[in-house]
Amino acid sequence: MVSVAGVATTQPLFSFGLISDVQYADIPDGRSFLGVPRYYRHSILVLQRAVKEWNSHQKHKFVINLGDIVDGFCPKDQSINAVKKVVDEFEMFRGPVYNMIGNHCLYNLPRSTLLPLLKIPTLDGCAYYDFSPVPEYRFVVLDSYDISAIGWPQDHPKTLEALKLLREKNPNEDKNSPNNLKGLERRFLMFNGGVGKEQMEWLDGILQDATKLKQKVVVTCHLPLDPCATSEEALLWNCDEVMNLIHRYSCVKAVLAGHDHKGGYSIDSHGVHHRVLEAALECPPGTDAFGSVYVYDDRISLVGTDRMANTDMHFDHQ
């Protein structure tokens, strides 16, 4: 006979939907810089099927969109309507949707326009926040483009800090080119960004608080943090600094990211799971890439659809 406790662990505490890099645009299909096909019009159909699937569960508490909802090639006079069109699809989900910004969002619209459209809570234009769907868990949404050469006004201190860093780290004329950059230095590209000092202090405070409350933390971020889960060109500029902070606490169990469209998975030296999601944008017509995540006391289970791989993330008990 199975103990009552044994039965209890088979029921998730809660579940949620997950998608990344929709990068919709009303333009013909194209290719990435590396020649990977991109299906700009089809991606919104992937999102529609995702929302339909998530709604059919009727138990998903929320949805997380890991950024880049429209593509940089979207004609600029269509940007605001393209963003609204994708947001409208997300709004069809019967529950809260938590958005974050990616580089492609910022190619289209400045933060001041984008954040209200995405309903991102903001202080001084920053886009990091946290939420707790159940007492046992806390989710942290990082702003990967806090220090960035895109999205802020040209004379903004954060833009100037980003441009200074790029000048120091990337000798190429084209700051989106990793030519001649070696290893982890290849992350210093203009389409990436960094987490600033105030956000680092905020994250430290959140992790302290979560530790006191005995909460498990899931960090979400458009840009990946662990080199073992992604290509070097996709990493957050100061991923090492953010990882060092995360590793000072045992509450962080997983990091979910987008940006590197092929997806990836690793477990780092401190047992934190890093899952980079496959992009909706790269789904050929008729295929999908989205997931449902089931959260337990001792694991997080991503059940992927089609091109999105399943991932079971088990934690060590602290």
Identity at 293, one-letter amino acid code: V
3-state SS, residue 49: helix
Sequence spans of domains, the chain: 14-313
The tokens describing 177, both together, are 């080119």
Q: Tens of pLDDT along the chain (318 residues)?
A: 334 444 445 799 999 999 999 999 999 999 988 899 999 999 999 999 999 999 998 789 999 999 999 999 999 999 999 999 999 999 999 999 999 999 999 999 999 999 999 999 998 999 999 999 999 999 999 999 999 999 999 999 999 999 999 999 999 999 999 999 999 999 999 999 999 999 999 999 999 999 999 999 999 999 999 999 999 999 999 999 999 999 999 999 999 999 999 999 999 999 999 999 999 999 999 999 999 999 999 999 999 999 999 999 999 754
Pairing of the two strands 252-257 and 264-267: unpaired
SS3 content of the chain, % helix, strand, coil (to 5): 30, 25, 45
Q: Can you give the pLDDT at residue 9?
A: 54
Quickly count: other Cβ atoms within 10 Å of residue 260's Cβ: 22
- The CATH architecture assigned to 14-313 reads 4-Layer Sandwich (3.60)
Q: Which of 17, 1, 60, 6 is nearest to 220 (CA)?
A: 17
Quickly count: other Cβ atoms within 10 Å of residue 153's Cβ: 12
pTM of the full structure:
0.96
Quickly count: other Cβ atoms within 10 Å of residue 271's Cβ: 15
